[in-house]
Structure 1
């Protein structure tokens, strides 16, 4: 069974992305809806209880060992900054220039013809799938934000830290 829920505005805060692997198709925005995938989000137990996702484990947070789909509506602007990694396996080995500086890329898109009224700023940080690196993603949206995922893929975050190889995104 797939859980589908609303995470608009402050309902977005109990979900963390620092350990997640983000799938973001960075083409210019041509419509007001943006869809991204995130493997390995962190979700608070309180959020799970409020949304009737029952977990028998003790603990305060859960790691999603699977893909969550996020959909942002009425998007007016997206910006991303990525510090590139050397390899898929070593997420702490950054590409560096001759002087030792980290190589980073950034880009910003806006939906043409959209004049935002009062957009909410959604900030996500994590590992970007391509180009592979640590990223900060900002999405300005006024409409609803939806999330869907398989609750059966939630594991206590302590289990993740004990054996991350069992739960982290499987590099091919």
Structure 2
């Protein structure tokens, strides 16, 4: 069973990405729809109840031990900045320059055509799949934002923190 719902504007706020692994194809925007994948989003119990995703677990937050697909519509601008990790296994081991500064990359894309009227700014932070690093992703969009995922993959966030290796994105 797959949950499909809309998380436009303020309905996006109950979704957390800090522990997630983001899959983002950073090519110039040729259309106004942007699709990303996110393994390991954090969702509140209240959001789950409101969206009729019933969970028997106790707790206030759930970790998605699986992939969520998110679509942003009427996107006008995307910017991403990434601080590069040395390896997939050590996510706190940053690539550094000879003088010790962290190596970072950033890029911004915009769609051509009609200027946006009043885009909503969606901010996501998490681990970028490629180039592998800690990233901040900003998406300016005026249209709906949709999410889909398998709700059976939700686990209590306390269970995730007890044994993250059982639930985190499998690098191998």
TM-score scaled by structure 2? Answer: 1.00
Aligned to 1:150: 150
The 5 Å alignment of 1:85-124 reads 85-124=85-124
Aligned to 2:58: 58
| Aligned-partner Cα distance in 1 for 2:148–2:94 | 32
5+ long unaligned stretches in structure 2: none
SS of the aligned residue for 1:19 comes to: coil
Question: What displacement does 1:86 show?
Answer: 0.2
Aligned to 2:11: 11
Aligned to 1:140: 140
Question: What displacement does 1:114 show?
Answer: 3.1
| Aligned-partner Cα distance in 2 for 1:14–1:74 | 22
Question: What displacement does 1:168 show?
Answer: 0.1
Question: What displacement does 1:107 show?
Answer: 0.2
TM-score scaled by structure 1? Answer: 1.00
How many residue pairs were aligned? 172
5+ long unaligned stretches in structure 1: none
| Aligned-partner Cα distance in 1 for 2:126–2:118 | 26
Are 2:91 and 1:70 equivalent residues in the alignment? no
Deviation track 1:75-106 (CA, whole Å, cap 9, x = no partner) reads 00000000000000000000000000000000
Question: What displacement does 1:160 show?
Answer: 0.1
Question: What displacement does 1:74 show?
Answer: 0.1
| Aligned-partner Cα distance in 1 for 2:163–2:90 | 17
| Aligned-partner Cα distance in 1 for 2:150–2:88 | 25
4+ runs deviating over 6 angstroms:
none
1:84/1:104 contact within 8 Å kept: yes
Question: What displacement does 1:42 show?
Answer: 0.2
1:76/1:114 contact within 8 Å kept: no
